[in-house]
């Protein structure tokens, strides 16, 4: 019989922590989860899920405008922020309840409160100490707030889901996917929307053609870009927030959202007490099995800052539980290659595999197939929105190295493409696949002419 209170003690009830806890409990292990904030983590409460609901809501204004081309007369539409905000909150509360039941029904002991390490096998929660053979840290990440004069008047992405009033003039600081998404959400819901980014073009790390194409489309929808500049200071006035930029220009807005990245959430965890090693960005350093430098303590998800994506944390949790508690099975490692992802800006971006720039660095012969077109819907809607499809192909083996899309429902389309690329599909296999007509997605199997190589 074990001398520990638990076989596994999980700190953090986000996606990765809950998956690890439930799976381990299902294998007959005695498991506890400590959580001091909310069940489901960032994604469920202040991330992916509510942001996607807001994104859905922000499309209706555009749909109403485009309906006339299809014979519909939509008059008197009006947006009510409290309705969207509160309906979103009800859905999040429902999901919290589901997570609560999933944990309890799987036999996991849920301990409410913030946990801190007391050693290699001990955790303290609200003054009570528990022992565990294995400890898992899955505390996620939190927004980074930049330092400038008046930054106390800005909000983070944690706060924006619960605003008392909807702002009529907004400024989003940042160039990553969260910033670009919220700039589009604000614009779609009817606000004047500005995006301020210190770089030359938002969405650094994405395919360059995709970045440029997406930003052109976002501009067409009304988001105003201020590139190569930063916020110098914010001054609160009777009529709003006066924002001074580093190029000397000024903007008056009602809300400033700082979406300048997320940092590992390790404050108060007692990493120094346990002797856990961290990296330059505060991330917990782990090996391929998610083990820290302390053999009994593990970490995964956003707190290790490898890929800050919910499905990645879920997959990492499955690898960990397999290796810890299923010795009869072959050991597993996490494969971070060809992970599909999406940006829910307007229009959406989805991508899997290598960018054109990455492929050119890694392969001698690269063939690019790309197609830009006006979707069938917009031949009647009156919108000048365009979509982009792109395939990156190894010219020697014909293997598809990457796929990229900018357009409506790009994430839904790319999930299937991701399976094909993960399976090692060649361009010939794409070409031999009969398309679904008429769809935008069929463009992926009808592109025959090399754009460049």
The catalytic residues are 437
User: Among candidates 387, 361, 357, 356, which has minimal Cα distance to 374?
Assistant: 387
Q: How far apart are CA 403 and CA 362, in angstroms?
A: 16
C-alpha closest to that of 183 among 221, 236, 128 = 221
How far is Cα 386 from Cα 377, in angstroms, rounded to an integer?
11
Q: 333 preceded by cis ω (within 30°)?
A: no
Three-class SS of 153-189: HCEECCCHHHCCCCCCEEEEECCCHHHHHHHHHHHHC
Q: Using alpha carbons, select from 144, 147, 145, 143 the residue that is nearest to residue 232.
A: 147
- Give the chain's count of helices (H) and strands (E): 13, 22
Residue 318 · residue 19 · CB < 8 Å: yes
**Residue 413 three-state SS:** helix
Q: In 106-259, which ranges are continuous DSSP H helix?
A: 177-188, 208-220
CA-nearest of 247, 251, 198 to 227 is: 198
R_g of the chain computed on alpha carbons: 24
SS3 state of residue 41: helix
Residue with tokens 């053979």: 133
Question: By the 8 A CB rule, do 234 and 148 touch?
Answer: yes
Strand partners, 233: 149, 244
DSSP per residue, 318-343: HHHHHHHH-TTSPP-----TT--EEE
Pairing assessment for the beta strands 400-406 and 349-353 based on DSSP bridges = antiparallel
Q: Using an 8 Å Cβ cutoff, are 381 and 343 in contact?
A: no
Structure token digits, residue 361: 């660095």
Q: Identify the helix (H) or strand (E) that includes residue 224.
A: strand 224-227
Q: Which residues pair with 251 in a beta bridge?
A: 243
Question: What is the Cα–Cα distance from 188 to 158, expressed in whole angstroms?
Answer: 20
């Amino acid at each position: 019989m074990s001398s520990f209170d638990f076989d596994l003690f999980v700190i953090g009830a986000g996606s990765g922590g809950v998956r690890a806890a439930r799976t381990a409990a299902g294998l007959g292990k005695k498991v506890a989860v400590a959580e001091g904030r909310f069940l489901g983590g960032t994604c469920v409460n202040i991330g992916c899920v509510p942001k996607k609901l807001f994104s859905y809501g922000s499309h209706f204004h555009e749909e109403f405008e485009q309906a006339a081309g299809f014979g519909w007369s939509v008059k008197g539409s009006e947006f009510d922020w409290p309705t969207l905000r509160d309906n979103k909150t009800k859905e999040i509360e429902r999901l919290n309840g589901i997570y609560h039941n999933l944990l309890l029904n799987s036999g996991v002991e849920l301990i409410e409160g913030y946990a801190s390490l007391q050693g290699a096998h001990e955790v303290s929660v609200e003054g009570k100490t528990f022992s565990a053979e294995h400890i898992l840290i899955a505390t996620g990440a939190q927004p980074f707030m930049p330092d400038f004069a008046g930054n106390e008047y800005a909000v983070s992405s944690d706060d924006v889901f619960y605003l008392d009033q909807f702002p009529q003039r907004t400024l989003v600081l940042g160039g990553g996917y969260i910033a670009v998404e919220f700039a589009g959400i604000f614009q779609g819901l009817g606000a004047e929307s500005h995006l301020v980014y210190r770089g030359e073009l938002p969405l650094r790390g994405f395919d360059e053609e995709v970045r440029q194409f997406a930003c052109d489309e976002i501009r067409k929808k009304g988001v105003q870009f201020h590139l190569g500049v930063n916020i110098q200071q914010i001054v609160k006035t009777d009529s709003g927030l006066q924002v001074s930029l580093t190029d000397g220009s000024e903007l008056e807005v009602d809300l400033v959202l700082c979406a300048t990245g997320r940092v590992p959430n390790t404050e108060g965890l007692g990493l120094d007490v346990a002797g856990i090693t961290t990296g330059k960005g505060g991330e917990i350093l782990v090996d391929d099995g998610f083990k820290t430098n302390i053999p009994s303590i593990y970490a995964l998800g956003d707190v290790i800052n490898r890929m800050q994506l919910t499905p990645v944390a879920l997959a990492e949790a499955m690898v960990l539980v397999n290796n810890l508690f299923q010795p009869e099975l072959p050991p597993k490692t996490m494969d971070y290659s060809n992970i599909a992802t999406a940006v829910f800006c307007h229009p959406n971006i989805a991508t899997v595999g290598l960018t054109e720039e990455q492929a050119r660095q890694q392969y001698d012969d690269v063939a690019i197939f790309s197609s830009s077109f006006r979707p069938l819907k917009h031949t009647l809607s009156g919108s000048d929105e365009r979509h982009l499809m792109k395939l990156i192909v190894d010219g020697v083996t014909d293997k598809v190295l990457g796929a990229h899309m900018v357009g409506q429902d790009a994430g839904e389309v790319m999930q299937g493409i991701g399976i094909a690329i993960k399976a090692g599909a060649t361009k010939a296999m794409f070409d031999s696949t009969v398309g679904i007509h008429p769809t935008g997605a069929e463009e992926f199997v009808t592109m025959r002419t090399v754009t460049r190589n």
